[in-house]
Structure 1
Amino acid sequence: MKLQQIVPVILISAVTSVGSMWAYNKYVGVEKVVYNSSDSNRIPSNYAGFFDGINNSPTDFSQAAEAAIPATVHIKTKATRTASNNLPRRSPLFDLFGFDWDEGMTPRSMPQMASGSGAIISDDGYIVTNNHVIDGADEITVTMSDKKTHKARLIGADPSSDLAVLKIEAKNLPFLLYGNSDDVKVGQWVLAIGYPLNLQTTVTAGIVSAKSRTLEINRRQSNTPIESFIQTDAAVNPGNSGGPLVNTAGHLIGINSAIASPTGSYAGYSFTIPVNMVKKIVADLMKFGTVQRAYLGINYAPDNLSEEVKKQEGITSGNGVYVLDVTKDGAAAASGIKKGDIITRINNAPVTSGAEMVGQIATYRPGDRVKIGFVRDGKEMIKEVTLRNSSGTTEIVKVSVLDKLGAEFGNIDAKLAKEMGVRGGVIVKSISESGAFSKTRMEAGFVILKVNGKEVSSIDQFRAELEKAGNSVTLDGMYPGYEGVFRYPMKIVE
Structure 2
Amino acid sequence: MKKFLSYFLICLVGAVAGIIVAVKFINKSPEPIYFENNPWQRQAGNQDSLKSHTIRLVNSRQIANTRKNVITEATKVVSPAVVGINVLQRSYRPSGSRLFFDDPFFRHFFSEQPKLVKGLGSGFIISPDGYIVTNEHVIHKAIKIVVSLPDGEKYNATLIASDYISDIALLKIDGNGKFPFVKLGNSDDFIIGEWAIALGNPFGLFDMGQPSVSQGIISATDRDFGKQQDDRIYKDMIQTDAAINGGNSGGPLVNSLGEVIGMNTFIFSGSQNSGTSIGLGFAIPINRVKNIISELREHGSVDRTFRTGLSVVNLTASLAHNLGVQINNGVVVASVEQNSPASNADLQVGDVIVKISDYDVTSTRQIDKIFDDLDAKAGDELELKIYRNKKFYSKYLVLEKH
2: CA distance between counterparts of 1:371 and 1:262?
35
Deviation of 1:229 after TM superposition, in Å, equals: 0.5
What is residue 387 of structure 1 aligned with on the other side?
Answer: 399
Match for residue 184 of structure 2 among 178, 187, 194: 178
Q: Is 1:119 aligned to 2:124, yes or no?
A: yes
What is residue 38 of structure 2 aligned with on the other side?
Answer: none
2: CA distance between counterparts of 1:175 and 1:341?
46
Deviation of 1:177 after TM superposition, in Å, equals: 1.1
Deviation of 1:198 after TM superposition, in Å, equals: 1.3
Deviation of 1:214 after TM superposition, in Å, equals: 2.0
2: CA distance between counterparts of 1:153 and 1:112?
19
Provide closer, same or farther for how the CA distance between residues 128 and 108 of structure 1 changes in structure 2, counting only shifts above 3 A.
same
Q: Is 1:138 aligned to 2:143, yes or no?
A: yes
Deviation of 1:252 after TM superposition, in Å, equals: 0.8
2: CA distance between counterparts of 1:290 and 1:329?
30
Structure 1: gaps spanning 5 or more residues = 1-57, 92-101, 300-311, 316-322, 346-356, 389-393, 396-494
* Cα pair 2:85 2:120 within 8 Å, conserved: yes
What is residue 418 of structure 1 aligned with on the other side?
Answer: none
Q: Is 1:162 aligned to 2:171, yes or no?
A: no
What is residue 244 of structure 1 aligned with on the other side?
Answer: 252
Match for residue 212 of structure 1 among 208, 217, 222: 222
What is residue 26 of structure 1 aligned with on the other side?
Answer: none
Higher helix share: 2
The aligned amino acid for 1:74 is: G
Per-residue CA deviation, residues 376-419 of structure 1 (Å, 9 max, x unaligned), is: 55565655x4413xxxxx24xxxxxxxxxxxxxxxxxxxxxxxx
1: CA distance between counterparts of 2:300 and 2:189?
29
1: CA distance between counterparts of 2:107 and 2:383?
54
| RMSD between aligned residues | 3.8
Match for residue 129 of structure 1 among 125, 134, 145: 134
2: CA distance between counterparts of 1:60 and 1:272?
21
1: CA distance between counterparts of 2:255 and 2:262?
9
2: CA distance between counterparts of 1:62 and 1:266?
22
Deviation of 1:61 after TM superposition, in Å, equals: 0.7
What is residue 301 of structure 2 aligned with on the other side?
Answer: 290
User: What secondary structure is seen at the aligned counterpart in 2 of 1:70?
Assistant: helix
Deviation of 1:158 after TM superposition, in Å, equals: 1.1
What is residue 52 of structure 2 aligned with on the other side?
Answer: none
Deviation of 1:119 after TM superposition, in Å, equals: 1.1
Normalised to the residue count of structure 1, the TM-score between the two structures is 0.50
What is residue 75 of structure 1 aligned with on the other side?
Answer: 85
Provide closer, same or farther for how the CA distance between residues 325 and 199 of structure 1 changes in structure 2, counting only shifts above 3 A.
farther
Provide closer, same or farther for how the CA distance between residues 332 and 163 of structure 1 changes in structure 2, counting only shifts above 3 A.
same
2: CA distance between counterparts of 1:205 and 1:84?
43
Provide closer, same or farther for how the CA distance between residues 340 and 375 of structure 1 changes in structure 2, counting only shifts above 3 A.
closer
| 1:349-428 correspondence to structure 2 within 5 Å | 366=378, 368=379, 378=391, 385-388=397-400, 394-395=401-402
2: CA distance between counterparts of 1:190 and 1:343?
31
User: What secondary structure is seen at the aligned counterpart in 1 of 2:233?
Assistant: coil
Match for residue 258 of structure 1 among 266, 277, 282: 266
Q: Is 1:187 aligned to 2:193, yes or no?
A: yes
What is residue 352 of structure 2 aligned with on the other side?
Answer: 339
- Whichever of the two has the greater Rg, that structure is 2
What is residue 232 of structure 1 aligned with on the other side?
Answer: 240
Deviation of 1:110 after TM superposition, in Å, equals: 3.3
The aligned amino acid for 1:387 is: L
Normalised to the residue count of structure 2, the TM-score between the two structures is 0.61
Per-residue CA deviation, residues 237-285 of structure 1 (Å, 9 max, x unaligned), is: 0000000001000101000001011323101110000011000000000
Structure 2: gaps spanning 5 or more residues = 1-67, 97-105, 313-325, 359-369
Deviation of 1:109 after TM superposition, in Å, equals: 5.0
Deviation of 1:161 after TM superposition, in Å, equals: 1.1
| 1:266-281 correspondence to structure 2 within 5 Å | 266-281=277-292
Percent of pairs with identical residues? 33
Provide closer, same or farther for how the CA distance between residues 149 and 341 of structure 1 changes in structure 2, counting only shifts above 3 A.
same
What is residue 465 of structure 1 aligned with on the other side?
Answer: none
